[in-house]
Amino acid sequence: MNGYYELLGVNRDASLNEIKKAFRKKAKRLHPDIAGKDAEKMMRRLLIAYKTLSSEQRRFEYDKMYAHFAYKNGFNYREWLREQEDDPVSQAKLIFYELLHLEEDEAIAIWRKNGGIGFPIEQYLGRGDWMDCCFFLAEELDRRLHCFEAIMLLIKIMREERRKPYFRLFAPEIEKFIIEIAQQRLRKQVDDEIWNKCKEQLQDLGVLGEKID
């Protein structure tokens, strides 16, 4: 399992220019006309890695998270976490670990096994870590068109962000993401009852509710 730097093939102290060059080089190899449809998943992962490492704020957060969760020298941290099936703290850490290593399907499977949107990750990880973890989960769920689950996680994040800022300058992007999911994808997937419940929660967030039709 590799992280974003390994995926792009750059050092952890790589400059933005080096990251851009590495992305362009690998993206060319993964173009559908060259690599075929089998490269679609890898291209998506490459885009996520590039999007994260090319943003100063998101790169800082990723480096902090990776250092805390992913680098465990001397033993197989992932396998150790997997063995702790009855420990929700270990399972929450495992979900985050898999996300950081771009094992999104595995992370979602573990999350669902532990209750999905009913799994209180905020009780088992530090504040910044659970917010980051839920955001990454929401991104991946939305990509798989599981929009209701994605927006429920994002609402939870934004409620906490309203209470005490964490994402700060990145928060407006999350708000735009919520509106995009709600208007472009969620409304087509849910019935009127669920849609109205979602709208009520979005309206509780303030300006977001005003932008939802």
Q: Give residue-wise pLDDT tens across range 159-185.
A: 999 999 988 878 888 888 999 999 899
Q: How confident is the model at residue 125 (pLDDT cuts 50, 70, 90)?
A: very high
Whether 42 shows a pLDDT value over 50: the answer reads yes
CB 121 within 8 A of CB 160: no
Which of the two residues, 32 and 208, has the higher pLDDT score?
32
Whether 82 shows a pLDDT value over 70: the answer reads yes
- Low-confidence winner among 31-40, 107-116, 142-151, 161-170 (lowest mean pLDDT): 31-40
CB 57 within 8 A of CB 170: yes
Q: Which residue has the tokens 């999905």?
A: 116
Name the pTM for this structure: 0.76
- Low-confidence winner among 24-33, 55-64, 121-130, 182-191 (lowest mean pLDDT): 24-33
Q: How confident is the model at residue 1 (pLDDT cuts 50, 70, 90)?
A: very low
- Low-confidence winner among 30-34, 111-115, 151-155 (lowest mean pLDDT): 30-34
What is the average pLDDT score of the chain?
86
- What is d(CA 34, CA 177) in angstroms, rounded to the nearest whole number? 32
b/e burial code for range 20-54 (CB count within 10 A of at least 16 → b)? eebbeebeeebeeeeeeeeeeeebebbebbbebbe
Q: Please state, for a pLDDT cut of 70, what percent of the chain lies above it.
A: 89
pLDDT at 94: 95
- What is d(CA 47, CA 53) in angstroms, rounded to the nearest whole number? 10
Whether 39 shows a pLDDT value over 90: the answer reads no
CB 49 within 8 A of CB 6: no
pLDDT at 207: 52
- What is d(CA 182, CA 197) in angstroms, rounded to the nearest whole number? 12
pLDDT at 154: 95
* The pair of three-digit structure tokens given for residue 31, joined into one six-digit string: 């173009």
- Low-confidence winner among 62-71, 86-95, 100-109 (lowest mean pLDDT): 62-71
Whether 75 shows a pLDDT value over 80: the answer reads no
Across the range 130-153, mean pLDDT stands at 94
